[in-house]
Structure 1
Amino acid sequence: MLTGCYWHGAASYGIGRQERTLVLIKPDGVKGNYTDRIKNTILESGFLILRERTQQLNDETAAKFYAEHSSKGFFSSLVKYMTSGPLIAMVLEKDDAVAAWRGLIGPTDAHVAKVTHPNSIRAMCGLNMEENCVHGSDSPQSAEREISFFFEDLSAGESLIRRDEL
């Protein structure tokens, strides 16, 4: 497959479909000192890290982010887990970023990931279904919504790299 990418100012134009996705290195990933390994894996896999921030979620913010799970039995433990320490939020860009990132992180359940996707990020640092080290958006639409949740200053389609950062 022939691919190409051309830089014009701060925006990239390629033959593939450039997408953004949100990544969270969850509290267990930060506490376990997996951050550098995860970032290296991200960069080695051809992603650009466009934005990054460290944040400590409170109960209200975690509940709002995971509102779609509010009726599920695991919701309160999920909120407790996501507020147990700082997390790192990142915006990544790559052709088909959502699918590429989800392939890189492996199955949600880290036990399954260790068996079926032993080279995945969740196999590397996840413990179980909940403490699985990283979050990945499940669709391009979810990615845009989740990016705006953590990076309010970004709008869909906006160039993320400021010229002074190049």
Structure 2
Amino acid sequence: MKVCITQFLTRFLFFSVLIIFRCCSSNGSGEKERTLGIIKPDGLSGNYTDRIRKVILESGFHINKEMIIQLDEVNAADFYAEHSSKSFFTSLIKYMTSGPVLVMILEKEDAVAHWRHLIGPTDAGKAKITHPQRNKD
């Protein structure tokens, strides 16, 4: 019974964050908007959370809410469903369920555009070229 309640609460919190994210994103017209930021498992296990938070705040974002959650395969597959036909999907799900993640609701004027610029490309090869500062202490 306890396991069922824990699974329910995890899914409830995860989908609540997704609903908030989808409902609160704006049209990018210069008004404050919200976006979702996720510190992945290696960011938490490598103790990079404080450093990442500092960069986020120094970039002018406000962290409205944050929570640490453990994604299960169902939640991760739902979240990354747009990538389900891609070759990396299975390894992405395995990685995102390998440990807890920190989910943050970030707010700033034109938050989505600024967040995409801050995090850079998701392709590690491109990121090394366009965002070399990512790998520096």
Q: Please say whether Structure 1 and Structure 2 have the same fold, judged by a TM-score greater than 0.5.
A: yes
Cα deviation, residue 54, structure 1: 0.1
Cα deviation, residue 40, structure 1: 0.2
Q: How many residue pairs align between the two structures?
A: 108
2:66 partner amino acid: E
CA distance in 1, matches of 2:60, 2:50: 16
1:64 partner amino acid: D
> Within 5 Å, which residues of 2 pair with 1:34-113?
34-113=48-127
- Corresponding residue for 2:45? 31
CA distance in 1, matches of 2:120, 2:135: 10
Structure 2 length normalisation: TM-score? 0.74
Structure 1 length normalisation: TM-score? 0.61
Tell me how large the CA RMSD over aligned residues is: 1.6
CA distance in 1, matches of 2:52, 2:126: 19
2:56 partner amino acid: I
Unpaired segments of 5 or more residues in structure 1?
1-14, 126-166
> Within 5 Å, which residues of 2 pair with 1:134-153?
none
Cα deviation, residue 92, structure 1: 0.4
Cα deviation, residue 91, structure 1: 0.3
Per-residue deviation, residues 122-143 of structure 1 (Å, max 9, x unmatched)? x238xxxxxxxxxxxxxxxxxx
Structure holding more helix per residue: 2
- Corresponding residue for 1:124? 135
2:31 counterpart of 1:21: no
Unpaired segments of 5 or more residues in structure 2?
1-28
CA distance in 2, matches of 1:16, 1:62: 31
CA distance in 2, matches of 1:67, 1:109: 18
